[in-house]
Structure 1
Amino acid sequence: MRASQLFWNESSSWSEGAATLDRAGLVFYFGTRQMLANGGFYESLRARFPKAHVLGCSTGGQMAGLDVSDETACALALEFSATQLRTAHATIADSSDSRASGATIGAALKGEGLAGVFVLSDGLHVNGSTLVEGIVSEVGREVPVSGGLAGDGADFVETLVGCDGVPAPNTIAAVDFYGDAIRIGHGSAGGWDVFGPMRRITRSDGNVLFEVDGKPALDLYKLYLGPEESQKLPGSALLFPMRVFDPRHPERSVVRTILAVDHKSGSMTFAGDMPEGWSAQLMRGSFSRLRAGAAEATHKAMVSAHSAPDAQSAAIFVSCIGRRLLMGQRIGEEIEAAKIELTENCLPVGFYSYGEISPHEVSGFCQLHNQTMTVISERAG
């Protein structure tokens, strides 16, 4: 496998790294909503790689070297020697269609020799949990699924996803990898600390949370945010994600990010399911813990990829937009901590998202997390 990074801005178009991959079979790209809405963005990438599958999404910021940028888009071109690829996409109207949309994609991509799935989804009209369930219902639980939900910074206006076509809203896209040569490693971690009392989800509907301990969920957030920050919802709630878990399996906890609020009903929409009866606890981050979480996720992915140290590989870093908002100008520290764990021949790209998908470390089931790393390589020979 060979890999190359590319970067784009409106003034210079795409510039490629040292490796020029004319035979690339797959290209990932990540940029802000405004960038992807630029008519020349996708067309110029497609012209550069006319025979490749091209997938990407809008973000809450993307990696450009050691920095996180809103001005420079990033892309990763991959050339495989012994791996087959297949893509699929679907349109989703609202979150109630999430499982069916996932099943449609899974049915289109399942097949003998399937080694892994990477999915990019609209970030505002989807229930990430049931989307993954739909994909897994078709491809099977033994096939790892990773990826992320598209972002729109802290604006929550619209997210865009593209699959061999111009990026569009309400879109879910996926690429599958087939064969014995491909190696895909996964890692997930948090870095947030819980605070406040343990609570119970008393009324919910899928990924919409209505009540916690019998009281409106939105009131709980407003209590901690205060009057001024409450006016900035849902963006300000990104600084306080929620840890949820089945009381019968506390070791399988996941972190949920807020996507929308409804002041009239007092409800909040999260990136994944908020099942009634589950335990819930608010979280807040610290710089040191978030840095450590990035390093941990990357280390796990590198170990599970089983790639040779001198072999070319690629890493896709997907992190929660709330982490970026909290760390502010110090966000480069998270990226640097992750890159230290990569081998010299591993090229990384990544983006800040509204939800991160990866197999759970304990259960092995593919779920939403708070930060994930996917490492892709091919076995030599």
Structure 2
Amino acid sequence: MKIVQAVKEVAEPFKLISGENQTLDNPLVLVFGNRYALEDKSLYNEVKELFPGGHIVFGSTAGEIIGDSVQQGSVSLTAIEFERCSFTVKRGNVSDIDDDLVLGETILSEFPKEGLKYIFLISEGSSVNGSALIGGFEDARLNHIGISGGLCGDDDRFEKTLASYNESPKEGEIIAIGFYGESLEITSANYGGWTPFGPERTITKSENNILYELDGQPALDLYKKYLGDKAQELPTSALLFPLSVRVNENSEPVVRTILTIDETANTMTLAGDVPKDARVQLMMATVDDIVDAASVAAQYAMDNRKNEPELAILISCVGRKLVMDQRTEEEVEEVISVIGSGAAVTGFYSYGEMAPFVGQDACKLHNQTMTLTLFSE
């Protein structure tokens, strides 16, 4: 595996930070950046000039992870040439199909199935129902094909997110990268570290990822009551107090972040499904909780690996970044201390993370987790 990494600051060209002497022919080029930077129409051509034969995938972020640092307002680039394995990239758009589950099924159907080992998703994050999208890839799980990835971000603005494959970034894009090859080893894991508090309540009215009522009361009104003065900062302040959602007594709770609120309808739209009759609680975390959780996620991803990772894609939630503030890089450093310094590290802060729970096969949408995917040939 050959890897080249570079960073582009505002109004500056890309600056190589590793792999200066590497020549890549047809690499996978992952470009993660601030949404404003990705709106620059010259960016795609700039990347194409650097890697004329590259398969270029863009995703907007709430912060860029490159090496052991977290950037803000920049663009990070990681180009990977697999020496014994192959990949293919497929895409769709939420405007093409208005059912996110069907959209996922349609994208999956376009992949050649023979030898398909893993799918990594980079999805638009402002309007998609991530749970439904993952549901469209259920046949992949049944065929023992691993899945992980994340929803693109837009800092804490929640205005729009951008993604693309071999074109300038645009809204609504779902990018799926399929990996093939017997010698390819890919593992993923996630962990949050957030703690529930306050009374547990029952969802009495919801539709997919739209939450209407808790215990028969308007959910938004009840949530604002708990937030107090911070209710004026919604939806941004919701990142500090996500919801733990437990579908039934036997299921693992998932964390859901609020993406948008509708004052007129008195509803909240979350990043994934919030089924009727599920039990929910508010959650909170400290910086130390989050850093410790990043270490746990890394340990889970390293469990039972046969080879040391050569590439690590880290996707962490924007809510974690808001809590950590000036200490954000600590969770990245903690991951590196566990996986080793031999892996090239890239990734971004997101509006949602995709990975299975430890010991399970089914990919789930998460919020407020550190999710990492480790690659080696």
TM-score bucket of the superposed structures, by smaller chain? over 0.9
Between the two proteins, the alignment pairs up a number of residues equal to 373
Tell me whether 1:164 sits opposite 2:166 in the alignment: yes
Question: Shift of residue 125 of structure 1?
Answer: 1.4
The answer to whether the 8 Å contact 2:140/2:146 transfers is no
Corresponding residue for residue 353 of structure 2: 356
TM-score, L = length of structure 2: 0.94
1:52 is aligned to: 54
Q: Does 1:75 align with 2:77?
A: yes
Offset from partner CA, 1:338-372 (integer Å, 9 cap, x none): 12112221011111100000122243210012221
CA distance in 2, matches of 1:358, 1:341: 19
Q: Is the 8 A contact 2:6 2:18 kept in 1?
A: no
- Contact 1:95/1:125 (8 A) holds in 2: no
How many Å apart are 1:5 and its aligned residue? Answer: 1.8
Measured at CA, do residues 96 and 257 of structure 1 come closer, stay the same or move farther in structure 2, by a change above 3 Å?
A: farther
1:306 positional shift? 2.8
Matched, 1:144 2:149: no
Name the stretch that deviates more: 94-103 or 39-48.
94-103
* Paired position in structure 1 for 2:183: 181
Unaligned runs of 5+ in 2: none
Q: Could you tell me how far apart the structure 2 residues matched to 1:281 and 1:96 are?
A: 30
Specify the code of the residue in structure 2 equivalent to 1:292. Answer: D
- Residue 238 of structure 1 corresponds to which residue in structure 2? 239
Alignment-derived partner of residue 373 in structure 1: 372
Shift of 1:84: 1.6
Q: Mean alpha-carbon deviation: is it higher for 296-305 or for 266-275?
A: 296-305
Residues 316 and 124 of structure 1, relative CA distance in 2, 3 Å threshold: same
Q: Secondary structure at the match of 2:223?
A: helix
Q: Quote the offset at 1:136 in angstroms.
A: 2.3
Cα deviations by residue, 1:215-234 (Å, 9 ceiling, x for unpaired): 111122201211x3212211
Q: TM-score with structure 1 length normalisation?
A: 0.93
Q: What code does the residue aligned with 1:53 have? A: H
Letter in 2 for 1:154: D
Whole-Å separation in 2 of the counterparts to 1:288 and 1:267: 32
Q: How does 1:89-100 map to 2 (within 5 A)?
A: 89-93=91-95, 96-100=98-102
2:120 aligns to what? 118
Q: Please tell me whether residue 278 in structure 1 is matched to residue 275 in structure 2.
A: no
Residue 343 of structure 2 is aligned to residue 342 of structure 1: no
Report the Cα distance in structure 2 between the residues aligned to 1:94 and 1:201, rounded to whole angstroms.
31
Q: Is the Cα–Cα contact under 8 Å of residues 185 and 304 in structure 1 kept in the other structure? A: no
How far the C-alpha of 1:94 sits from its partner, in A, is 9.4
Question: Deviation string for 1:195-240 (max 9, x for gaps)?
Answer: 01111111110011111111111122201211x3212211111111
| Residues 7 and 305 of structure 1: CA distance in aligned 2, closer, same or farther (over 3 Å) | farther
Higher mean displacement: 363-372 or 255-264: 363-372
Residues in 1 aligned to 2:84 and 2:193: alpha-carbon distance in whole angstroms? 37
- Which digits, 9 at most, give the CA deviation of each residue in 1:56-107, with x for residues without a partner? 2101111144332213221211111121211111110399521111111110
After superposition, the C-alpha distances for 1:126-162 in whole angstroms (9 at most, x for unaligned) are 0001101102235635211111001111111110001
The CA RMSD measured in Å over matched residues stands at: 1.7
